Amino acid sequence: MDKLTSTADIFITKNLKTLYGIVSAESNYEKLSEFVLSQSPLANYGYYEDEIILVKKFGAFISSEESDAIKDIIKLALVQWWVLKSYDYILQKELDDAQRHLAEIPSGWKILKTFTQYNKFSKDSMDFDRDKLEIISSIHTGIPEIENDWHLKMLHTNINKIFDTEELEKWVETKITRIEDSYQNARDFLSTNFFILLDIIFFLSLAWSIFDTFLLWKISAK
């Protein structure tokens, strides 16, 4: 949009319903009530008094000399949101698999499978640790051009709030923690079972040695 001939506040007030319809993808914007407009008011993120930057989940209205940079920030926020949603989906499957494997850990007479299961969990856990580092790195990687500009950083932060990116980020990190806990619990349980198996083997070996010694003694006694 071309440079405003009035202040941003005057323009927004005069065209409030139209602007609201644009950023909210509301086709019947002319019929919107004051109640609707007041429940989710438009926030202008412009730096200058004649600058308009309106952003909602379904649209944006920009009147600024930095419009290209602002559009890039909006695109970046959308990409980050999609990346987090993808991680959320992938991690949910990983969590389901980890908990399913945890439920299938051998017990009782199946304890002989412990060693194989332990190797499998160790491999899966190490693979996940590598994936986790990449996920955490991608989530928390900053962009110098944004970090060093107060207005761009503020804009990026607020757009992320619009898309609930911070909450999604926390949920992704929570799932990472839950998956790590599942793998750790599995390793602990399998380690315990493995040492129980070693104890059983030791006592069976000891019992066999005693029995073998007893047989040799009986034979020699004859």
- pLDDT average, residue stretch 111-116: 55
What is the pLDDT of the chain when averaged over all its residues? 77
Give phi and psi for 51, each to the nearest 5: -110, 135
Least confident of 95-99, 174-178, 205-209: 205-209
pTM: 0.64
Over the stretch 173-204, which tens digit does the pLDDT of each residue have? 888 888 778 777 777 776 666 666 666 666 77
Q: Which of 105, 104, 109 is nearest to 197 (CA)?
A: 109
> What pLDDT does 115 receive?
54
**220 vs 9, more confident:** 9
**What's residue 110's pLDDT?**
55
**In angstroms, rounded to a whole number, what is the distance separating the alpha carbons of residues 135 and 176?**
9
- Which element (helix H / strand E) includes 60? strand 59-63
pLDDT tens, 142-163?
677 777 888 888 888 888 888 8
pLDDT digits 0-9 by tens, 52-86: 999 988 888 998 888 888 888 888 888 888 888 88
User: What does the pLDDT look like over 8-62, one tens digit per residue?
Assistant: 888 888 888 899 888 888 888 888 888 888 888 888 988 888 889 999 888 889 9
Q: What is the pLDDT of residue 61?
A: 92
Residue 97: partners with Cβ closer than 8 Å, 6 or more residues away: none
pLDDT at 159: 87
Secondary structure (3-state) at 52? strand
